[in-house]
Amino acid sequence: MRKLLRFAIGTLCVLLALFGAWRIYCGYPSQGLCGIAAAVCLFPPLFDRIRPWRRGGIVTALLVDLGLMVFSPFPGKLQYRNLLPKRSSEPTVTVTTEPTVIARNTPSDIPSEPLLPSPTEEPTGTPANITPLPTSSPTPMPTATPSPIPTATPSPLPTATPTPVPAEPYLQVICLDVGQGDATLIRHVDAAGREWNMMVDGGDRGTSSFVVARLERLGVSHLDTIVCSHYDADHCFGLIGCYVKYADERTTVYCPDYVADTVTFQKFKQRLDEGIVSVNHPKPGDRITFGDCDILVLGPVDVNAELENNRSIVLYLTYQGKTFYLPGDAEKEEESAIVSGGFLPNKNIDVYHASHHGSYSGSSKELLSVLKPKYTVISVGAENPYQHPHDVTLRRIADCGCENVLRTDKCGEITFTVRNGELTVSLERTLTE
């Protein structure tokens, strides 16, 4: 305990000494000396050497000393630092001038007449031949007014407004891989640079989300035209999702004019009854507006046909001399009516979309002998239970001279592009994969 007390007193002495030194530096020497004296007297090694009977007096003296340090009656702050000569950052220049003596005139010394004679009179006693010196008033020196230096204002550089370059006109017919169903996207940029999008059928329920997502990946933001060839689910159901996502008041829907007793038809019709889009029921000979393309409607010839497949809308598309035939699920009865109806141009076509997924009930010999396509596309699911396409259909296609048969179950997505009058084909998967 005693050691701790001695340590505390020693620490106090050090603080008192530091405080005293600081007060001296600040200009209070009396307070500073009192603090240092108290620190020296109370320092334990020195305090122990003092006899006990003298310690009381020393402590009393120290208390008085501390009182003087706090309540000093002496002049407080000693401005000893102000007694030192100040250093100036600028050199002192001493100017010595000659004393000027000014002679003061008393009132009696001031002449009553002007010192210089007037121009018309001669002062008395002054010779006439003496001409006073003229007093020349100092001519002020002209001060040159600095003219402002002209600052060249930079003229803004002309900014060339970029002229938008219209996209090169083209047509794309994309047969989506929707398994056992049909879904075709037609994209077109006309000569004015406007983009057109048409959806012909949309696949079945299981691929509806795929079709919507695929159109988004292809950059489609709006559908100008939606064509439902007929109301079978594998053609119609996927169009409901396309309608919800991409249709608006600018969209025109083409569908056959009959009522089907199916859930798919009811859902599709419910959307059409919303009144957002324009709904048309085309007839043979009608034409669909689609940019620079010519789209001729060939069917349905008989909207009351016994088989709903024979009520399908059939389209004949022409662009830059290239032709496409899109028949939906039309079977041989409707095909025969189209050939005999006189609306079908009597010329070879470039691309034939096989009717009814290559079923033997369509792609009749009568029709193929007129069309004689260069390419045949079959939208079909792999290992489907209907065994589409049928062998007899493939033989008919080969017999009409078509050597290029492309199937979505083997090639995946199939894209035909027409640009500058040239037709090119690209496949998602090659036939050798």
What pLDDT digit, counting tens, does each position of 56-83 carry? 666 676 666 666 655 554 444 444 444 4
Stated as kind and residue range, the H or E segment containing 10 is helix 2-25
Does 165 have pLDDT greater than 60? Answer: no
420: number of CA atoms within 13 Å, CB side? 2
Whether 308 and 331 have beta carbons less than 8 Å apart is answered as no
Collapsing DSSP states into helix, strand and coil, what is residue 254?
strand
Strand order in the sheet with 183-189: 278-280, 252-254, 225-227, 195-202, 183-189, 170-175, 414-419, 422-427
Residue 58: both structure tokens together? 């020393």
Peptide bond connecting 138 to the previous residue in cis, omega within 30 degrees of 0: no
Greater confidence (15 vs 326) lies with 326
Whether 237 and 202 have beta carbons less than 8 Å apart is answered as yes
Q: Give CA separation, 125 vs 296, 359, 409, in Å.
A: 137, 154, 145
Rounded Cα–Cα distance for residues 286 and 36 (Å): 118
Greater confidence (244 vs 103) lies with 244
Rounded Cα–Cα distance for residues 237 and 164 (Å): 39
Does 303 have pLDDT greater than 90? Answer: yes
Does 127 have pLDDT greater than 50? Answer: no
Greater confidence (227 vs 165) lies with 227
pLDDT score at 112:
45
Flag the least confident range among 37-41, 97-101, 248-252, 365-369: 97-101
Average pLDDT over residues 344-356: 93
Greater confidence (116 vs 340) lies with 340
Rounded Cα–Cα distance for residues 174 and 411 (Å): 12
Residue type, 375: Y
Does 294 have pLDDT greater than 90? Answer: yes
Rounded Cα–Cα distance for residues 77 and 227 (Å): 104
Closest by CA to 368, choosing from 380, 378, 353, is 353
Rounded Cα–Cα distance for residues 187 and 172 (Å): 5
pLDDT score at 151:
61
Rounded Cα–Cα distance for residues 239 and 246 (Å): 10
Greater confidence (231 vs 35) lies with 231
pLDDT score at 71:
56
Would the CA dihedral through 226, 316, 318, 404 be positive or negative? positive
Residue type, 275: G
What pLDDT digit, counting tens, does each position of 352-374 carry? 999 999 999 999 999 999 999 99
**pLDDT, the chain, mean:** 81
Greater confidence (399 vs 76) lies with 399
Would the CA dihedral through 387, 338, 352, 178 be positive or negative? negative
Phi, psi of 59, deg, nearest 5: -65, -40
User: What residues have CB less than 8 Å from 326, skipping those under 6 apart?
Assistant: 184, 200, 229, 314, 315, 316, 317, 353
What pLDDT digit, counting tens, does each position of 31-53 carry? 677 777 777 776 777 666 665 65
- CA 27 vs. chain centroid, Å, equals 68
Rounded Cα–Cα distance for residues 67 and 193 (Å): 100
pLDDT band per the 50, 70, 90 thresholds, residue 378: very high
Residue 413: both structure tokens together? 């997505």
Greater confidence (144 vs 85) lies with 144
pLDDT score at 375:
98
pLDDT score at 41:
73
Residue 231: both structure tokens together? 């109301």
Burial class (CB in 10 A: 0-12, 13-18, 19+), 286: middle
pTM of the full predicted structure?
0.64
pLDDT score at 9:
78
